[in-house]
Amino acid sequence: MQLRKLADNLGEWLGGTGPESDVVISSRVRLARNLERFNFPARLDVEARAECAAHIRERIIDSKAVAPDGYFPLEERSATERHFLVERHLISREHEDGGPGRAVAVGEDEVLSIMVLEEDHIRLQILKSGLQPLETWRIANSVDDLLDRHLDYAFNPQLGYLTSCPTNLGTGMRVSVMLHLPALVLTRHIAKCFQAMAKIGLNVRGLYGEGTEATGDFYQISNQSTLGKTEEGIVHDLTAVVPEVLKYERNARKTLLRRDRQRIEDRVWRAYGMLRHARVLSSEETMTLLSALRLGVHTGIIEGLEPATVNELFIYSQPAHLQIRAGREIASAERDVLRADFVRGHLPAL
The answer to whether residues 199 and 263 belong to one domain is: no
What average pLDDT is seen over the chain? 92
The pLDDT of residue 1 is: 55
Residue 17: which pLDDT band, with cuts at 50, 70 and 90?
Answer: confident
> What does the pLDDT look like over 210-268, one tens digit per residue?
545 567 899 999 987 777 788 999 999 899 899 999 999 999 999 999 999 999 999 99
Q: Pick from 233, 345, 230, 221: which is nearest to 281 by CA?
A: 345
- Is residue 32 within 8 Å of residue 161, measured between CB atoms? yes
Interstrand relation of 155-156 and 160-161 (parallel, antiparallel or unpaired): antiparallel
- Is residue 260 within 8 Å of residue 322, measured between CB atoms? no
The answer to whether residues 229 and 263 belong to one domain is: no
Q: How many domains does the chain have?
A: 2
The pLDDT of residue 226 is: 75
Q: What is the pTM of this model?
A: 0.92
Strand order in the sheet with 103-106: 71-73, 103-106, 112-116, 122-129, 24-33, 173-180, 218-223, 202-205
The answer to whether residues 222 and 336 belong to one domain is: no
Would you call 5 exposed, middle or buried from its count of C-beta atoms within 10 A (0-12, 13-18, 19+)?
exposed
**Which pairs with CB-CB distance under 8 Å and at least 24 residues apart come from 257-264?**
257/299, 264/295, 264/299, 264/301
Beta-carbon contacts of 4 under 8 Å, excluding residues fewer than 6 positions away, are 324, 325, 327
Tell me the average pLDDT across 305-314: 92
The answer to whether residues 226 and 275 belong to one domain is: no
The answer to whether residues 228 and 264 belong to one domain is: no
Instruction: Tell me phi and psi for residue 304, to 5 degrees.
Output: 85, 10
Q: Pick from 83, 105, 87, 106: which is nearest to 96 by CA?
A: 83
What is the domain extent for residue 303?
258-346
Domain boundary among 204, 229, 249: 249
- Is residue 85 within 8 Å of residue 128, measured between CB atoms? no
d(CA 215, CA 166): 29
The answer to whether residues 134 and 279 belong to one domain is: no
> What does the pLDDT look like over 142-168, one tens digit per residue?
999 999 999 999 999 999 999 999 888
Statement: residue 56 has pLDDT above 70: yes
Tell me the average pLDDT across 293-321: 94
Statement: residue 130 has pLDDT above 80: yes
The pLDDT of residue 214 is: 63
> What does the pLDDT look like over 68-126, one tens digit per residue?
999 999 999 999 999 999 999 999 999 998 779 999 999 988 999 999 999 999 999 99
The pLDDT of residue 210 is: 54
Residue 196: which pLDDT band, with cuts at 50, 70 and 90?
Answer: confident
d(CA 163, CA 153): 10
Task: Please state the length of the chain.
Answer: 350
Interstrand relation of 160-161 and 202-205 (parallel, antiparallel or unpaired): unpaired
Statement: residue 202 has pLDDT above 60: yes
The pLDDT of residue 209 is: 52
Q: Pick from 148, 181, 178: which is nearest to 295 by CA?
A: 181
Interstrand relation of 122-129 and 160-161 (parallel, antiparallel or unpaired): unpaired
The answer to whether residues 166 and 82 belong to one domain is: yes
The answer to whether residues 217 and 267 belong to one domain is: no
Domain boundary among 228, 249, 270: 249
Domain boundary among 249, 272, 298: 249
The answer to whether residues 191 and 309 belong to one domain is: no
The answer to whether residues 237 and 270 belong to one domain is: no
The answer to whether residues 221 and 295 belong to one domain is: no
The pLDDT of residue 208 is: 60
- Is residue 240 within 8 Å of residue 301, measured between CB atoms? no
Statement: residue 19 has pLDDT above 60: yes
Residue 3: CB atoms within 10 Å = 19
The answer to whether residues 264 and 243 belong to one domain is: no
Tell me the CATH number at 14: 3.30.590.10
Q: Pick from 249, 260, 243, 234: which is nearest to 192 by CA?
A: 249
Beta-carbon contacts of 151 under 8 Å, excluding residues fewer than 6 positions away, are 33, 35, 56, 59, 122
